[in-house]
Structure 1
Amino acid sequence: MNAAHSPSARTGAHLLVDALIANGVTRAFGVPGESYLDVLDALSDTEVDFVVCRQEGGAAMMAEASGKLTGRPGICFVTRGPGATNASAGVHIAQQDSTPMILFVGQISRSMRGREAFQEVDYRAVFGTLAKWAVEIDEAARIPEIIARAFRVAMQGRPGPVVIALPEDVLSEYADVPDAPPVEPAETWPGLTDMMRLQKLLWEAERPIMIVGGTRWNPKAVAALVRFAERCDLPVAVSFRRQMLFPADHPCYAGDVGLGINPKLVGRLKEADLVIVAGGRLGEVPSQGYSLFPIPDPGVPFVHVHAEADELGRVYQPTLAINASNAAFAAALEGVQPPHVVPWDDWREAVRDDYLAWTEEPPANPGAVQMATLVRYLRALPDDTTICNGAGNFATWVHRFHRFRAYGTQLAPTSGSMGYGFPAAVAAKRAHPERTVVAVCGDGDFLMTGQEFATAVQYGIPVIAVVIDNGMYGTIRMHQEREFPTRVYGTALKNPDFAAYARAFGGFGVTVETDAEFTPALEAALAAGLPAVVHVKLDPEAITPTMTLSALREKALADRSVG
């Protein structure tokens, strides 16, 4: 009997949707397109929450944020051509942030390939170096196989994005094939010998420090990590935008190794006689432009733990390389014991004191709104509040002065992608409606994906965007003042009334021009029960916690006159 007439045959679209449901997918994000109408029709018969977005970049960022929060692939559907290229920003974030994600792209029919048909794109070529795997499905019968492999590729080893092109005629084609079993990623466990060597290195140390980063963590693994740090009285720093991996109010917490790092923490890392990097890659930002340790020999006993074997020794040659996923490594830490007499109590206390001094004594910035004070107000929110941000100098205050106290409460792109914060907040609030979710955004940052405010209103997702408005692309202006002082060009912004913008969509909007106005504004936004914008007007001089634009310009001019 022909598969098209078999009672048990299903269309490619139904095979695809059934495979997603079998793998626990309950939510997807996307922008509809005629190239995958069959999938939309198949989804309509299910309870999958398909969140319709306003632009594919925002949809892909929501899916990436979902992958960060759950450890399972975030799912995004977009149409061919411009839909796919719009979504590429989210794919790039997922790649650099090691986030599991699957982007499904509608594609032209197989019979039209190679003619540059309407919106035809070779997705293997376009996404081949941007995604962990890019593939086009050629026949409906292979859908269960390819979807199962996609989940595994996205989650195993170093997680990342998978891009799957779906030709229109494959989605309508019938096939009589069984479903693949649900996929669970393999955990790579450290060997007993590895853990014994780690303990030996720890016992030989006098000034050890740990840097935690990467993905494939979960609440249980973070709890095991905290117990290990307590048992060993070990100072623990977190990698760039991975502050949720260790509670900031814990006496072992040392701060974040990212942009705007505490100079004293840099000094402590260089003084350390044992460095343990767990989960992170120690890329350009946490390594401070690859200047924190020598390459390839770090010059210090160096332990690197990573789920992807190829990452071990890629830049820094470790004394001990441990190929293990973070959850498995954290579980194995239960067997690592401190020396009978811990010789580094004073060291851990000194590192902690450095962090407290760095975050409790904020320097004043120009203007009536003090950014450090604003961020410290956010500390009063519940411990499970999720704070999201995109890219821009405003985020330096968030990373320095906010205290992340629980796993799953930070969504921020290590790739430095603007526009991420608000879509991430929408995804976080959709996943956990009982939690408070705040996106701290720059003015240029917010307007890159600000149209997703309409998505929040459409679905009644009461997220709060704190939009920091200084009338410019601040980070670029900062670099411009440093490299081309007095020659300001291409960085100024003419902004709307962001509070009115929110109200125009049917949300809540309020403007803040002084410190005293922020807390009442935030409380009003929380009480409104609507998507909200708190529009904060910041003095343009306040470019970083420690520098003004004028001082930066004067320093750059002075350096040139000396040169």
Structure 2
Amino acid sequence: MTNGAELLVAALENEGVQKIYGVPGEENLRTVEALRRSSIELVVTRHEQAAAFMAATQGRLTGRPGVCLSTLGPGALNLATGAAYAHLGAMPMILITGQKAIRSSRQARFQIIDMVSTMKPLTKSSRQIVSTSSIPAIVCEAFRLATEERPGPVHLELPEDVASEPADGYPLVESSAVPLPVAAATTLDQAAELIKQAERPLVMVGAATSRPRLGDDLATFLARTHIPYFSTQMGKGTVSGTPDDKITDLWLGTAALSERDYVHRAIDRADVIITIGHDTVEKPPFLAGRGPHKIIDIGYTAPHIEEVYVPDIAVAGDVSSSLFRLGNRLEGQLPNASALLGMRDDIQARTLAGSDATTFPPTPQRVVADVRAVMPDDGIVALDNGMYKIWFARNYRTAVSNTLLLDNALATMGAGLPSAMMAAILYPDRRVLAVCGDGGFMMNSQELETAVRLGLNMVVLVLRDDAYGMIRWKQAVDELPDFGLTFGNPDFVKYAEAYGARGTAVSRTEDLVPALNAAFEGGGVHLVTVPVDYSVNVRVLVEELRDQLDWADDEGEA
């Protein structure tokens, strides 16, 4: 006889789920047993937060929801940060939590938290399953909601007694694909007319361009129009292109700061900015009120109006369709398309300055350059959250879409290692590197054991400054005393070895590239640690931009 937990697992199989990440508990043992007898692999993690980050990253990279599992109360609460990570980052995922029986209360209020209410503001939908008959429809609807624009997490709670309840005779529900709506032709006409009139057009690619469904359509649009582009942090690496197809020749840089970086010279000069897939959960890539920009927003849904973002034209609908139809209206009709392209070489030269520094500890610019040197075009770099994220956003070049994974929405620490683990599971034949600060790494470092147990091939680069480096930088910028942000660290080599991984400590700048290459070539899980010199943060990102950046037009710019 089938029970509720078995029907739930069958419905998950029906949705194509192959792996579930999580931590078993007393209240989800029926679900765990159903998984044991199913085709779905249960990947046991060492903390529920890591399971949620892994499930969210699966959704981000594949477009299909990853699934994570926990028990009630404390285990379920540990999923909350991962739910927020997926919610702000628009990553489809399903969270399944256990609960005490709802028809009796033999343990009174022990461990009981109202997780349905707790998860509501962190998800697209949060609901308790109260009868087995509803399970097939609820699961089908959960997957639809999770993948529907704007994607995100959906939470389902399965109480113990419903999990044990007989569930024979309830057929599974087959989902059907729902085509995305397309933008109105009149709106596309208005957008095309404004772009044709532009003297200095510019494209910005944002977080939503990372959707797998967008494929090569973004690169095709840029190739057809020849308009230079820049990216937001989460839009970085979403345009596939090689030097051979000239797409990368149109890239001006990444807006890792909100203003007054070198790339903002082009942004401030632009008279029409076409934003593609911009999501205002990101820290603003530019302040829309600063200049005379006209903004055309191309997105899957209508844009959110913010103090720093008020589009003049909103093109809402399937972005692939919008780009194709807009390209038809613009191709060969933009004599000023490349007006800002003359600024590219100077912007990039100034941005990349210091990448060849030979001092030890290495500067963050040198670390980024060395990582780029060891990663093939299809290699995946997953960043945790820290000071280095700004440097990778500014300086790291990509040629294949979705090969630089960073979070500029929730911007939580602790996600880098689990995200890299998920990438290594999905792409076992590609080089995968987690880049973590010592602070963020230690927040989920226990997952090294999970990575070793799963037999993953991946490298973890831990940048050590013995401090919460980004906040220390902010403290210095605000001219506050250096206080409260330093800590001690373990011997990272011995720490990795204790989990069954290998470890290497780099003690010379010129040894970082050989150490990373050797780690990849050796296979398995390998941790490489190197100190980093963040003394350049204030000088390069504040003082030089303030004192040396010439905002006057350079000869031949436009």
Same fold (TM over 0.5): yes
Decide which of 505, 508, 513 is 1:514's aligned counterpart. 508
1:452 aligns with 2:447: yes
1:161 aligns with 2:153: yes
Deviates more, 1:346-355 or 1:91-100: 346-355
Q: Which runs of 5+ in 2 are unaligned?
A: 243-247, 548-558
CA distance in 2, matches of 1:112, 1:386: 49
In the alignment, what sits opposite 2:250? 252
CA distance in 1, matches of 2:310, 2:534: 43
Decide which of 95, 99, 104 is 1:103's aligned counterpart. 95
Q: Structure 1 residues 356, 199: CA separation in 2 closer, same or farther (over 3 Å shift)? A: farther
Decide which of 300, 307, 332 is 1:307's aligned counterpart. 300
Decide which of 19, 22, 25 is 1:27's aligned counterpart. 19
1:372 aligns with 2:370: no
Decide which of 359, 378, 391 is 1:384's aligned counterpart. 378
Q: 1:14: how far off?
A: 1.7
1:38 aligns with 2:30: yes
CA distance in 2, matches of 1:220, 1:169: 40
In the alignment, what sits opposite 2:199? 206
- Percent sequence identity over matched residues? 31
- Local SS of the residue matching 1:349: helix
Q: 1:339: how far off?
A: 4.9
What does 1:310-329 align with in structure 2 at a 5 Å threshold? Answer: 311-313=303-305, 316-329=309-322
1:135 aligns with 2:133: no
CA distance in 2, matches of 1:73, 1:527: 32
User: 1:52 is matched by which residue type in structure 2?
Assistant: V
CA distance in 1, matches of 2:70, 2:493: 30
Deviates more, 1:390-399 or 1:300-309: 300-309
Decide which of 40, 55, 68 is 1:48's aligned counterpart. 40
Q: Structure 1 residues 112, 478: CA separation in 2 closer, same or farther (over 3 Å shift)? A: farther
Question: Can you list the C-alpha shifts for 1:319-377, whole angstroms capped at 9, x where unaligned?
Answer: 21122133443444442323535224242232464235423654859633233222212
Q: 1:185: how far off?
A: 5.1
In the alignment, what sits opposite 2:268? 270
CA distance in 2, matches of 1:260, 1:463: 33
In the alignment, what sits opposite 2:554? none
CA distance in 2, matches of 1:260, 1:509: 37
In the alignment, what sits opposite 2:222? 229
Contact in 2 for aligned 1:305/1:312 (Cα 8 Å): no
- Local SS of the residue matching 1:416: coil
Q: Structure 1 residues 348, 242: CA separation in 2 closer, same or farther (over 3 Å shift)? A: same
Question: Can you list the C-alpha shifts for 1:142-173, whole angstroms capped at 9, x where unaligned?
Answer: 11111111111111121111111111111111
Deviates more, 1:211-220 or 1:35-44: 211-220
Contact in 2 for aligned 1:209/1:235 (Cα 8 Å): yes
Contact in 1 for aligned 2:280/2:304 (Cα 8 Å): no
CA distance in 1, matches of 2:233, 2:34: 40
Q: Structure 1 residues 449, 459: CA separation in 2 closer, same or farther (over 3 Å shift)? A: same
TM-score, length of structure 2 as denominator length: 0.90
CA distance in 1, matches of 2:106, 2:297: 46
Contact in 1 for aligned 2:219/2:241 (Cα 8 Å): no
User: 1:93 is matched by which residue type in structure 2?
Assistant: Y
Decide which of 186, 189, 193 is 1:193's aligned counterpart. 186
User: 2:380 is matched by which residue type in structure 1?
Assistant: T
Contact in 2 for aligned 1:224/1:333 (Cα 8 Å): no
Q: 1:111: how far off?
A: 2.1
CA distance in 2, matches of 1:136, 1:74: 19
Q: 1:40: how far off?
A: 1.2
User: 1:178 is matched by which residue type in structure 2?
Assistant: P
Q: 1:248: how far off?
A: 7.1
1:399 aligns with 2:399: no
Contact in 2 for aligned 1:156/1:186 (Cα 8 Å): no
In the alignment, what sits opposite 2:231? 238
In the alignment, what sits opposite 1:500? 494
- Local SS of the residue matching 1:254: strand
CA distance in 2, matches of 1:45, 1:216: 39
User: 2:24 is matched by which residue type in structure 1?
Assistant: P
What does 1:316-465 align with in structure 2 at a 5 Å threshold? Answer: 316-340=309-333, 342-351=335-344, 353-359=346-352, 362=355, 364=357, 367-380=360-373, 381-414=375-408, 415-465=410-460
Q: Structure 1 residues 112, 514: CA separation in 2 closer, same or farther (over 3 Å shift)? A: farther
Contact in 1 for aligned 2:257/2:285 (Cα 8 Å): no
Q: 1:47: how far off?
A: 2.6
User: 2:477 is matched by which residue type in structure 1?
Assistant: R
Contact in 2 for aligned 1:56/1:86 (Cα 8 Å): yes
Q: 1:247: how far off?
A: 4.2
CA distance in 1, matches of 2:136, 2:468: 46
Question: Can you list the C-alpha shifts for 1:223-279, whole angstroms capped at 9, x where unaligned?
Answer: 221121122111121122221212475111122223377723223222211111111
Question: Can you list the C-alpha shifts for 1:419-442, whole angstroms capped at 9, x where unaligned?
Answer: 111000001101111111001100
Decide which of 41, 63, 77 is 1:71's aligned counterpart. 63
Q: 1:522: how far off?
A: 0.7
Decide which of 471, 479, 482 is 2:474's aligned counterpart. 479
CA distance in 2, matches of 1:425, 1:431: 10
- Local SS of the residue matching 2:443: helix
Q: Structure 1 residues 386, 440: CA separation in 2 closer, same or farther (over 3 Å shift)? A: same
Equivalenced residues, count: 536
Contact in 1 for aligned 2:360/2:509 (Cα 8 Å): no
- Local SS of the residue matching 2:237: helix
Question: Can you list the C-alpha shifts for 1:42-85, whole angstroms capped at 9, x where unaligned?
Answer: 11122323211000111111111111101111110011111111
CA distance in 2, matches of 1:260, 1:467: 27
- Local SS of the residue matching 1:534: strand
Contact in 2 for aligned 1:187/1:328 (Cα 8 Å): no
Q: 1:469: how far off?
A: 0.3
Q: Structure 1 residues 436, 281: CA separation in 2 closer, same or farther (over 3 Å shift)? A: same
CA distance in 2, matches of 1:523, 1:129: 44
In the alignment, what sits opposite 1:6? none
Q: 1:519: how far off?
A: 1.4
CA distance in 2, matches of 1:383, 1:284: 26
Cα RMSD for the two superposed structures:
2.6
Q: 1:307: how far off?
A: 2.1
Contact in 2 for aligned 1:132/1:162 (Cα 8 Å): yes
CA distance in 1, matches of 2:420, 2:149: 27
Q: Structure 1 residues 121, 332: CA separation in 2 closer, same or farther (over 3 Å shift)? A: farther
Contact in 2 for aligned 1:95/1:161 (Cα 8 Å): yes
1:541 aligns with 2:541: no
User: 1:526 is matched by which residue type in structure 2?
Assistant: F
Q: Structure 1 residues 365, 186: CA separation in 2 closer, same or farther (over 3 Å shift)? A: farther
Decide which of 74, 79, 94 is 1:87's aligned counterpart. 79
Contact in 2 for aligned 1:29/1:76 (Cα 8 Å): yes
TM-score, length of structure 1 as denominator length: 0.89
Decide which of 48, 51, 67 is 1:59's aligned counterpart. 51
Q: 1:398: how far off?
A: 1.6
Q: Which runs of 5+ in 1 are unaligned?
A: 1-8, 556-563
Q: Structure 1 residues 356, 252: CA separation in 2 closer, same or farther (over 3 Å shift)? A: farther
User: 2:220 is matched by which residue type in structure 1?
Assistant: R
Contact in 1 for aligned 2:365/2:391 (Cα 8 Å): yes
